[in-house]
Structure formats: structure tokens, C-alpha cells
Chain A
Amino acid sequence: MSLRQFAAAAVVTATFGFAVSPAHAVTEIQWWHAMTGGNNDIVNRLAEEFNASQSDYKVVPTFKGAYPDTLNAGIAAFRAGTAPHILQVFEVGTATMMSAKGAIKPVYELMKDAGEPFDPKAYLPAITGYYSTSKGDMLSFPFNSSSMVMWINKDELKKAGVAEIPKTWPEVFDAAKKLKAAGHDTCGFSNAWASWANIEQFSAWHNVPIGTKANGLDGFDTVLEFNTPLHVKHLQNLVELQKDKTYDYSGRGSASESRFGSGECAIFLTSSGYYATAKSTAKFDFTSAPMPYYPDAPGAPQNSIIGGASLWVMGGKSADEYKGVAKFFTFLSDTNRQAKLHQESGYLPITKAAYEKTKADGFYEKNPTLQTPLKELTNKEPTENSRGLRFGNMVQMRDVWAEEIEAALAGKKTAKDALDSAVARGNAMLRTFEKTAK
């Protein structure tokens, strides 16, 4: 490089260097998240909009892999003393996070310390309840929430001679048999998220407990009890129908959701967050309906519970950094922003005002699919069994429960034995967790 080139390069660097750094120091807020695809774009856009809206803080989003990876990255970073300010954690990591006192800064405290306007009553209780203490103090900030709904391929149902969208489990079984007779050999109906569907949502929707102490919300000394006759009956039904694939198992996660989009399964239970994908892949007329229930179960249907993820604020940061995080949360809670986010992404709105605004705009008349999860969540006043759940080790426990469901479906165990064993193994894990979470 000649001297002249060097000088030119130095001038360019200097110019741009000064242009980028503003007159006063900007506080950076690190935000680690697990959003991919279109949701990743939304995260980046939110950060950009926030950064453009003020000049004191800069939110820097970083993708850290799938939900468990992001949680582990956050934990490892905390142990190394380099935790981000905001960590997105999926709903089943809630107990792990809240038990880590000192590692986290509860949101209600954060907002109070920062002097940001914050009214917990402005948020939808069905959503914030999952992330609050039993006293109603909000611990983490709900970001992307969804619930489980039943996706329906209307074209195929019509072809199979099913006139109405089934409401109860017996009606679903009948419809599935008709679908199978009409050529759906490999799948009458199915569901993603084996444990979330058949244990967690199923229990809340039927107003039966998953565990004692309000499903663990009131304390870590909770004991699982989802091996009731109702649970056994449901699993037994699935086992019977699995034999000729009137029901066909689709795994523990969401990887098999495409069985609905491809037309293979015409009735499919999965997250309401599947909306965006369904819209872009399904080449048929589809809709979503509330989850089915057993009509002989007293009080069913109750209300569903949420899934998704929330934003946790990590501990040990400066007051100025917390001020920035609090401002960012206020920014996210803005009614217009929430309503827009909900209508574009299919995530549930987290504030009552955003829900009311979307209703008032007449959005749901055109998009009834997006209202199904909200109707489910607000179907009835939540009970001890349907407010949410909070079990330690839940990430792995879901896999353990799914293992037992798989054993029953493969014919290795009876439905009763499988659920008994799921409860026993889960309880052992809860006791281990209880010892570490003091």
C-alpha cells in the first residue's frame, strides 16, 4: 500500500468512525433469542425500530439457536459472568429461571426501579399468569405466545362426508375413521408436541390437575398426578386408533407439522403459531378450531394454557442498563405495535388493549383462525388446574413423558402403566430439582 492510499484509507476510516459514534455514549442492551425465519426478521425489526425511536440505548439482538440452546447459552454466559441483558426462554424453562434468584431481575421490580409506567392489569391474565408469581407479580415479559388449536383441512373433511367440524373427542375419532375410509390410509388425525398436547393442554382443557400445588405454581414441592382415569382413557383411545393409523403419532416436537400442510393429516392439533406456515404451504381451504374435549368430563372445556416464550432480564447489570431494558418493554407494550405484531405474526397480543383494538378493527371477521387460541385461553375464568404450570426440569420432563406415551403407542406398555411410569419418573426429577432450587 502506497503512502497516498494509506492516507486515503485513514481518512475514510476516521470519517466513518466519527459518523457512526454519536456525540454521547450509547448503552448497549444485549438480547439473546431463539427466533428463526420470519420470526427472526420480526425480532430484528423490533430492535431497529426501538433504536431509531431514541438515542440513549441500542438493543442488539443475537440468535443463539433453538430454545434449549438459547437457555443453555444464557446459563453458561451467566456462569462466566457475561450474561446478556435480555434472554428469551421458552415457557417450560420458567421454573428453572425463576428459581435462579440472583441470576434474574423480575420484570415488576425492573419497571418499578426504572420508574417506567407499568400496569400489570393491562396485560392479558391468561398469558401473564404463566410468568407471574402466585401473588401476581410479573417475573418475565411475555414475547411470543401461542396456544394449541385443532387445524382442519375443510376440503378433505367435505370429501370424506364430515359435515361439521368435530367438537368433542368422540366426534374427532368418527371423523378420522371417515377420513381413513376416504383414502387417508396413513393418518386420520394426529398432533405435534406429544406431551404438550396429550398431558399439559389436555389437563387444563378438562380442568384436571397435572400436579398438586396448582400445577406447581404455588411451590416446588409439587407432585404429579396426571395418571387419572380420564388421562388413561384418552391415551388408551389413541393406542387403539394407532393400530390401524386412524391416529398416527407425529413425534415430540413440531417437525411433523408438514403432515397437515401436505394434506396427509386432515385433522392436526398443534400450536396456533403454525398459522404463518399453514398460510404459505397449504393448498387447500383450512381453518382452526378449539381443541376437542370429552363431553362426559365435568366442566370441560375449561380454558387452554399458553406456550411460546418470554423475555427474562438477567441480574447483575447497572441501573442505566435496566432503565434501557424497561424502556424497551414499554416500547413493546404499545397498543398499536402489539396489535400489528399480532396481526402479522399470528402471535397472541399480550395487552388487553391490543386485543380490543384488533377486534374493533374487524380483523377477526376476515381472519377467524387467529382468534381461536384467544377464545380458548379466555373460554372460562382460569382455575388452579388451568392457570399454567411450573415444574422444575420441565425441559427434560417433557421428553420423559413423551417416552412413556411412545411406549404405550408402540404397544410395549399399557396406557395405565405408561402414565404411572411417567408420573413416577417425573416426580423423581421434581425431587432432584427441589433439592437444588432453594
Chain B
Amino acid sequence: MEKSVVFNGKLLPYVLLAPQLAITLIFFYWPASQAIWQSFLREDAFGLNSEFVGLENYQALFAQPEYYTAIGTTVVFSSLVTVLSLGVALLFATQADKNLKGASAYKTLMIWPYAVAPAIAGVLWFFIFHPTLGTLARPLRVMGFDWNPMLNGTHAMVLVVMAAVWKQVAYNFLFFLAGLQAIPKSVIEAGAIDGAGPLRRFWTIIFPLLSPTTFFLLVVNIVYVFFETFGIIDAVTSGGPAGTTTTMVYKVFADGRLGGDLGGSAAQSVVLMVIVIALTAIQFRYVERKVQY
């Protein structure tokens, strides 16, 4: 017979949970509720006078054509960054998982970019691909390719996507590698004995077994691209040229920090929050069904 220990106290579970709950409340719910409250106010930057204006900030927001452009830009930017950073990381991880000489050095080096702050990563890419100063932009121009992210919106988008992907690949790589190493070798060997080639083994055995990791990373990456990329965009393009790289989160940052329009900026972050909550819910509802744990 199994013995089970039962704690009768009602208080103990709450005490044990308290630290985690406190952190969640202080660092997540409190700022989020502040943002919601702020979005109903009109306030000057110094907070000297504030006035309750109801939904006026939201009305002003949805009356701006630039906001809809930013939503479109966000869709393009976030799809590209998520797909590319997951794809590239998976490719690197499968290669690093092989028995290679110097594999551990390679793995260590792969992780470094994650330690670089987004703004610094942005500045690096800004200088590498600066039309006239850039070490890589110059050869491009010499070859006759008119590389000009300062005026060409597509070039600017390519640049911020590259910078954002570069930054995130390291993180994804780490998780994919761990996921790959957790797959039992016997399963793969069994597949090999049955005559499945490397590609077939990957798609029918490895990829499905890796799906919990992939799903986790998908959620994390979408949160990353929606909330954390403004530093990169600020450093690389400042949302330009002509607003072609102004994503929703960059606009929150620009309107709040540069424009001092806290109410409008808060309204945008509430919209962003709702979108990300909805996206995550959809992912858990539909994508997770296909995940094999």
C-alpha cells in the first residue's frame, strides 16, 4: 500500500506559492493594469496634469492611417523573423548535433549573440550595412547593387529582419539542441535499419519528437518579435525610411518616449497586449493539438 502524506493546513500552500504570486503580481499584473489605466488618461510628459478622457486615446489611435500601416508592417516583420529564426536555428542545431570535431566550441560560439543587448546588435548591423560606412555595404555597391536602406524600404526591412533573426537564432539553437539530444538514439537507428534516409528520418521521426520544443519556441519567438525588437529597430532604422519599418511595438516606443504621448502610447500597448494574448491562446488551442509530447 502506498503511503501518502497529507498536509491539512490550508495556509501552507499559499505561503509556498506566495513568492511566485508576488513576483507575478508586482512585475506583470501591476504594470499591465497601470498601462490600461494610463490609456484612459491624457497626461503631459511630466505628469503635472492628467485628465480622464475615456476612450479618446483609442479613437485617436484608430483614426491614424499610420497605425494600420504599422499593423501590416508588424505582420510581415514578425512572420519573417519567427520563421527565419526558427528555421535557421533548427538547421544549425541538427548540424551541431552530429559527431563533429570541435562541436562544443562551435556550440559555445553559437550562443554568444544572445548575450548582446538588442540595441547593441542594432548598432552593429547599422554599421555593417550602412550605405557608405558599412564593411559589407561597400562591396555590394561596388558590385553594382544599389544598396540603400536609408531610402529603400525593402532594404531597410531586410536589414532589421536580419538583425532581429541573428539575435534570436542563438536562443532557439540552444533549445533545439537540447531537444535533439533528448531524442533516443535507438529510435533513429531503428529508422535507419528500416532503410529510411536522413531526410526521411528527420521529417518522420526527429521533427515530430521535437515538436514540444518547437511549439515552446514558437510562442517565445512571437512574444520576442512583438515586444523586444524595438531596440533593434530604433538603432538600425528608427522606423524609417518613411515608416516602412515602424512596427507596432516601435510605435509604442516612439510615441511614448520620443513623443511624450503617454496616453496614446499606453492605448497602443493595450492593443498589442490583447493581440499577443489572443495569438498565444490560438496557439495553445490549435497548434498544440499537433504537438506530440
Contacts and interface: CB of A to CB of B under 8 A. Distances in A.
Interface in A40-76: 68, 72, 75
Interface in A175-215: 186-187
A3 to B, nearest CB: 41
Interface stretch (B145-153, B209-217, B221-229): B145-153
A250 interface: yes
B133 interface: yes
B240 A99 contact: no
B242 A407 contact: yes
Contact-residue size bin, chain B (C-beta under 8 Å from the other chain)? 20 to 34
A102 B45 CA distance: 13
Nearest to B152: A410
A230 to B, nearest CB: 23
Nearest to A265: B132
Interface string A70-112: 0010010011000000000000000010011111000000000
B240 A402 contact: yes
B49 A436 contact: yes
Contacts of B150: 249-251, 406
Contact of B254 (A259, A396, A412): A396
A102 B46 CA distance: 10
Interface string A406-435: 110110100000000000010001001001
Nearest to A262: B132
A62 to B, nearest CB: 20
A373 to B, nearest CB: 25
What 7 A-B pairs have minimum CB-CB distances, sorted nearest first? A396-B259, A407-B242, A406-B241, A436-B44, A396-B258, A406-B242, A100-B46
Contact-residue size bin, chain A (C-beta under 8 Å from the other chain)? 35 or more
Contact of A399 (B47, B153, B254, B260): B254
B242 A435 contact: no
A403 interface: yes
Interface in A232-249: 242, 249
27 contacts: A68-B257, A99-B44, A101-B48, A102-B48, A103-B46, A186-B132, A249-B151, A250-B150, A251-B150, A252-B240, A255-B126, A255-B130, A258-B132, A264-B132, A393-B261, A395-B258, A396-B258, A396-B260, A399-B258, A406-B150, A407-B241, A407-B242, A410-B153, A432-B60, A435-B42, A436-B45, A437-B44
B231 interface: no
Contact of A436 (B42, B141, B240): B42
Contacts of A425: 66
Nearest to A185: B141
A100 B261 contact: no
Contacts of B238: 252, 399
A99 B43 CA distance: 12
A412 B259 contact: no
B208 interface: no
A345 interface: no
A436 B254 contact: no
B107 to A, nearest CB: 35
Interface of A: 68, 72, 75, 78-79, 96, 99-103, 186-187, 242, 249-252, 255-256, 258-259, 262, 264, 393, 395-396, 399, 402-404, 406-407, 409-410, 412, 425, 429, 432, 435-438
Contacts, number: 92
B264 interface: yes
Contacts of B42: 435-436
Nearest to B60: A432
B46 A403 contact: no
B179 interface: no
A196 to B, nearest CB: 15
B259 to A, nearest CB: 4
Nearest to A411: B151
B103 to A, nearest CB: 40
A410 B148 CA distance: 10
A410 B240 CA distance: 12
A172 B246 CA distance: 34
A429 B132 contact: no
Interface string B259-289: 1110010000000000000000000000000
Contacts of A251: 150
Contact of B48 (A72, A100, A396): A100
B245 to A, nearest CB: 11
Given A264-B132, A410-B152, A410-B242, A72 B257 contact: yes
